[in-house]
C-alpha cells in the first residue's frame, strides 16, 4: 500500500497564519507530514510526501501527482491523507471555534473507514481537544467536495488539526506534546485502517 501524505498549502499562500503572526500553517503542515512519513517508514510502510517543496503547488498539480501514482499502483493500493490546521474569522482577531476534524468527499466511499479510524485515534490521542464531527449519517467525518478529495482517484481524507485562530488550540499546535499527539493519531489511524 502506498500512503501519500499531503502537506496542505505552501509558504506563499496568503493568510494561513495565527492572528499574532507567529504560527504559519505551511510550516506546521510540513513538520507534521514529514514526521508521519518518517514514523510510518519506521514501521515498514511505504509512505511518501506528496509535496516535498515549500512552494504552494496548485491543487490541480497535487491531484495529478496522486493520480499518476494511482495509475501505476492501482487505486486499491493507494491512500491519501491531506494535513491542515483550521482557521476562522478575518485572520486578525482570536476566535472561539476550536477542535479537530476529518473530511471525506460526499457519499459513502472507501475513504470513510480511514476517516473513522483517524477520528477514533484523535479521540484517544487528543483528549484535550474537542473532536468536531457531523454525525447525522452515523460516522465521525464531515463530507465536503474539497478539490483534493473530489479529484483524486484513490481513497482520500483531509484532517484539520485544530484552529490556529483559537488561543487554546494554538497552544496545543505549538507544543511538542501536541505535535507528537497529532502525529501519533495519524499514524495509528492509518495503521488501524490498513490492518483491520
| Bridge partners for 3 per DSSP | 47, 79
Question: Alpha carbon of 187 to those of 140, 153, 191, 195: distances in Å?
Answer: 18, 22, 6, 12
Exposure string of 154-174, with b = 16+ CB inside 10 Å and e = fewer, is: bbbbbbbbbbbbbeebbebbe
- Whose cell is 473513522? That residue is 116
Does the pTM exceed 0.85?
yes
pLDDT at 137 over 80: no
pLDDT at 29: 96
Reported as a single tens digit per residue, the pLDDT across 73-95 is: 999 999 999 999 999 999 999 99
Beta strands, E only, 115-155: 142-143
82, 104 contact by CB (below 8 A)? no
DSSP state of 131: B
Provide the mean pLDDT of the chain. 94
Amino acid at each position: 500500500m502506498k500512503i501519500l501524505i499531503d502537506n496542505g498549502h505552501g509558504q506563499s499562500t496568503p493568510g494561513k497564519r495565527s492572528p499574532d503572526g507567529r504560527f504559519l500553517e505551511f510550516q506546521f503542515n510540513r513538520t507534521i507530514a514529514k514526521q508521519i512519513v518518517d514514523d510510518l517508514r519506521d514501521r515498514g510502510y511505504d509512505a511518501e510526501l506528496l509535496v516535498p517543496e515549500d512552494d504552494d503547488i496548485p491543487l490541480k498539480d497535487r491531484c495529478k501527482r496522486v493520480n499518476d501514482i494511482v495509475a501505476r499502483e492501482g487505486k486499491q493500493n493507494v491512500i491519501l491523507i491531506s494535513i491542515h490546521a483550521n482557521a476562522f474569522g478575518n485572520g486578525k482577531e482570536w476566535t472561539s471555534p476550536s477542535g479537530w476534524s476529518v473530511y471525506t468527499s460526499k457519499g459513502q466511499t472507501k475513504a470513510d473507514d480511514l476517516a473513522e479510524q483517524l477520528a477514533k485515534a484523535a479521540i484517544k490521542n487528543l483528549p484535550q481537544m474537542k473532536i468536531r464531527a457531523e454525525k447525522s449519517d452515523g460516522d465521525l467525518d464531515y463530507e465536503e467536495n474539497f478539490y483534493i478529495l473530489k479529484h483524486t482517484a484513490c481513497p482520500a481524507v483531509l484532517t484539520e488539526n485544530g484552529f490556529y485562530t483559537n488561543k487554546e488550540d494554538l497552544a496545543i499546535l505549538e507544543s511538542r506534546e501536541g505535535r507528537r499527539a497529532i502525529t501519533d493519531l495519524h499514524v495509528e489511524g492509518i495503521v488501524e485502517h490498513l490492518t483491520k
